Structure 1
């Protein structure tokens, strides 16, 4: 029994309200246009897995100014990673000539090439998205260029790092050269990737990529990237996380986005362990096609 005062029930208090008294129900705020619109409004330093832009640039030096202006637009301002192939760079090009504001540059120029121009890959990592980056694998010969950057995002609670690999394979690459590269990359992936998230982008020029599928990678590009052929591919170890969106042309070159579905999740979905020593090479296949 409460001796300090009188306690009234909720129903009794409701009867004391005037007849014209009305409490409006708060409507739930929703994001118009769905998750893609919400992703654009998310600050880049709060994204868990990166938004990636990938393209074959065919000479980076004469497109760097346009690329810088592209990053300031509303569509591309939250891009965390840019992967470019056929940069056509060499040791005479200083990093300051091809740098982007707020991005960290990682490059692998073509070595031992008899041609004047050709090959090369560049990966840009946004400084606000990842607090620590370092090159953990690089490869270059007359036909193949590759670089892998290990990133530590600010908001990655479950895994320690995200691996981003950028590959260019020339159309004239022989099977023996491709085999040498696949053996070296497989040894690196088996020792380092473990169950961490990783994305492999690049221009493969219809080369055999069964060694990537044997490592547990899945290609998620299902539209032609050059004329009627799909030469530019994106492999990941969890196809549920990403979706590919095709964008517009830059000097007859297509750009496409790798967008993250799990940007609002605190933890990424657990990944199924992969047998890195699998010897059976599977033919390319994709379980789900992307709708545009």
Structure 2
């Protein structure tokens, strides 16, 4: 995969030299803003803000926060893409599909278990700048459903979560949906028992299956069509309103568009208001009596 394609999909976040400070802005000192420079030319005095060196407000919004701290988000930025027509997937070595700065975790399709002879398989790429402590917990391949669980302990993690569990799923279009969801539900329930405070991200091609029919407490974040007029590529999490989904161009001959999910949550520590408590301290003389 070319670097230009990765950059267009925001897979590789690198600083853009065109967006850095211009030469005019670089001439202002640390305690001197553009407003004060223009004011001094008109004979005005410097503002109180410049005298104290206090920073003014910065640009807000989800995209601005992500650009300011691309490898330390509260939750990971996600790119979901359904790659098709990739010949001989099982014969590809890791070096053939490895991308710079990303660690690859793969679950190739088993022909004997799935009953299919062409293509198939799942793959998860994790940015090394976000996490280098990840392990594949379980893999499953059958004629009903394919899934893989990857447990991550990133460098920065909100204190309300102990781990992030990424689940990638593929449910064939002509399979028994109820039986496929039953197998997936059993695996998710087991991992939720093992990680009661984990944050779960379940993403993949569900076709016409609805995970909320077996896991009603999960929330789905993709609200636009991903193939024609159908929304087949879905992303579920255990928290509400934590992601903002945006469409991205498809890869190669893919007939599914890619989906980018930008973290939109705020850590619980920042949302919780401080609590005042009164503590009574007794003198040592009274405690000895």
> How does the TM-score come out when normalised to structure 1?
0.67
Structure 1 gap ranges (5+): 1-19, 62-87, 271-292
Across the aligned residues of Structure 1 and Structure 2, the Cα RMSD in angstroms comes to 2.6
Residue 261 (structure 1) aligned with residue 264 (structure 2): yes
Q: 2:76 aligns with which of 24, 37, 50?
A: 50
Equivalent residue, structure 2, for 1:185? 187
Alignment partners' CA distance in 2, 1:222 and 1:174: 25
Correspondence list, 1:49-128, <5 A: 49-60=75-86, 89-90=89-90, 92-111=91-110, 112=112, 113-128=114-129
Contact in 2 for aligned 1:165/1:200 (Cα 8 Å):
yes
Alignment partners' CA distance in 1, 2:196 and 2:271: 15
Q: Which has the higher helix share?
A: 2
Equivalent residue, structure 2, for 1:200? 202
Structure 2 gap ranges (5+): 1-42, 50-54, 273-289
Equivalent residue, structure 1, for 2:283? none
Equivalent residue, structure 2, for 1:224? 225
What are the Cα deviations for residues 215-241 of structure 1, in whole angstroms up to 9, with x where unaligned? x21111111111111111110111222
Q: Cα–Cα, structure 1 residues 53 and 179, in superposed 2: closer, same or farther, change >3 Å?
A: closer
Correspondence list, 1:147-186, <5 A: 147-158=148-159, 159-175=161-177, 177-186=179-188
Q: 1:37 aligns with which of 64, 77, 92?
A: 64
Contact in 2 for aligned 1:110/1:142 (Cα 8 Å):
no
Q: Cα–Cα, structure 1 residues 220 and 94, in superposed 2: closer, same or farther, change >3 Å?
A: same
Runs of 4+ in 1 over 6 A off after TM superposition: none
Contact in 2 for aligned 1:105/1:124 (Cα 8 Å):
yes
Q: Which has the higher strand share?
A: 1
